Amino acid sequence: MKISDLFEKWELSSLKINAKFLEMEFNANPEDQEAAWELYVELITRIVTQRLPINDGDEKAALESAYSLFPTTRDILKRKGRKCDSFSKIAVVVLNQVVRPFCSKWHKLELQGAFSNEKKCREFRDELNILQTKMRRYAAMLAEIAQVEDMMYIEDV
């Protein structure tokens, strides 16, 4: 399978990725599978993939949870090293093009007091819903790479 096929399958093909990279074959080795599993577990247990009912939760905590994916992913990449090259390429692209824009925008607004404004809180949650959709697809992709059952929807909500 080509990397472009993998992104297309999980509806993440809108990300800006070098065409040469997209044409490469994707072959997950055991280290890629382990790294994918570790990040998958992190994703499915965080607000970036879980519903946040309008009257529940806290916007700042949700933003912090999304941001924490940076040190979490870095840690996995450092520990697994160059042996998880295929996973690394995908993780970096998603982190930089999906998570970073969301966190950058809302971190600045949060510092300006946005979360004390009801309208801004609703806007945050609307944008969080968009992020959650993309991150659910990413989590499903990671489950496939890790060759595990996708447990995202195991709960009856």
Look at residue 19 in the predicted model and tell me its pLDDT.
Answer: 54
- Check residue 114 and report its DSSP letter: G
> pLDDT by residue (tens digit) across 135-157?
999 999 999 999 998 887 766 55
Q: What is the mean pLDDT of the chain?
A: 88
Whole-model pTM? Answer: 0.84
> pLDDT by residue (tens digit) across 99-120?
999 999 999 999 999 999 999 9
Closest CA to 123 of 49, 63, 41: 63
Q: How far is CA 130 from CA 1, 6, 50, 74, 136, in A?
A: 27, 20, 12, 24, 10
User: What's the rounded Cα separation, in Å, for the pair 5 and 143?
Assistant: 16
Stronger pLDDT, 81 or 94, i.e. the higher one? 94
Beta bridge pairs of residue 52 = none
**pLDDT at 131 exceeding the cut of 90:** yes
57: alpha, beta or left? (left if phi > 0; alpha if psi -120 to 50): left
